[in-house]
Amino acid sequence: MQTLAALCALLSLLFSAHADVVERFEYVPECMTYFYKAKVPEWGASTPGAARLCQRFVNRFHFATLYDTNHRIAVYSAYQFEPSSGGGRENRWFVEPQLVNDGWQAEMKDGYWLGQDYPDIYLGEKQALNEDYTNSGFDRGHLNPNGHHPVPSRNATFTLTNCSKAYVLVGTVPSADNWIVKNNVKRVNIPDYVWNAYCCVDNNDQPIQSGAGTARNTDENYVVKRSLDELGAFLQQFSNEPVGELFYNNCRA
């Protein structure tokens, strides 16, 4: 089975999660903690139909997602890496009510039950739905893996050797014309590439290590290791606008 590692954290494994659709990440200070020195990447900022999501669980923000509502995949997700402290996987898949109607609740909701609440309203105009993947041959996948976060009910802590925090960006490069099609409608873009980037800092918030990787969105799962500069050059192939810095000062001391 092919793997679509591109359904963004919008469809989170975290049950009862919340997501605020905001005009700018900068307007939500808690959401900005997932960007090193509050530097939001320039990459993807001009994506048509982009939605900015600050995603919460148990009254605490966990990550930020720039979501492409036209391709119905993430441009990128930003978070701080923490290892999972155990716990199982959530079996339900959630949708963002505010991407259907900006006056609806900020709490992410099980797509099935939201459909029951609003049977006459189509939920999937701006986001992928669970049924888009049914019998498609593609897996939903995660850009922001649940294994990179502790179970919220546990006070898990994390440090790398001499490392206080690890800021992470994960994203996609959409394909030109490769889609999951349902009822002759192009529903979810199948990305050509997935990528990630990280910036590790010490207790003084000074960069000590950085890196990146890219991979074709295929079953081979072959990852090309890159520097942040090399990742910028790679992404530049797919944009007519400058990629810019992914982290503040490109994670340089």
Domain membership of residue 20 as a residue range: 2-251
The letter for the amino acid at 183 is N
- pLDDT tens digits in sequence order for the chain, 253 residues long: 344 333 333 333 332 344 588 999 999 999 999 999 999 999 999 999 999 988 766 567 778 999 899 998 999 999 998 765 554 444 555 656 656 556 555 555 565 545 556 556 655 555 655 556 555 555 545 444 444 444 442 222 233 334 789 999 999 999 999 998 988 989 889 999 999 999 999 989 999 999 999 999 988 879 999 999 999 999 999 999 999 999 999 999 8
CATH assignment of the domain containing 145: 3.40.570
Burial of 97 from C-beta contacts in 10 A (0-12 / 13-18 / 19+): buried
pLDDT in the model for residue 32:
95
Number of structural domains, the chain?
Answer: 1
pLDDT of 155: 29
Give me the DSSP letters along the chain. -EE-TT--TTS-SSTT-EEEEES-GGG-HHHHTTSGGG---STTTT-TTEEEEEEEETTEEEEEEEEETTTTEEEEEEEE-------------EE-GGGT-TTS-SB-EEHHHHHHHSTTS-S-SSS--HHHHTTSSEE---SS-GGGS--TTS-----BTTBSEEEEEEEEE--SS-EEEETTEEEEE--SEEEEEEEEE-TTS-EEEEEEEEEESSTT--EEEE-HHHHHHHHHTT-SS----SSGGGG--
Predicted TM-score (pTM) of this structure? 0.70
Residues 6+ apart with CB under 8 A from 180: 4, 132, 133, 136, 138, 186, 187, 188, 190
Per-residue model confidence (pLDDT) at position 216? 94
Q: How many residues can be counted in the chain? A: 253
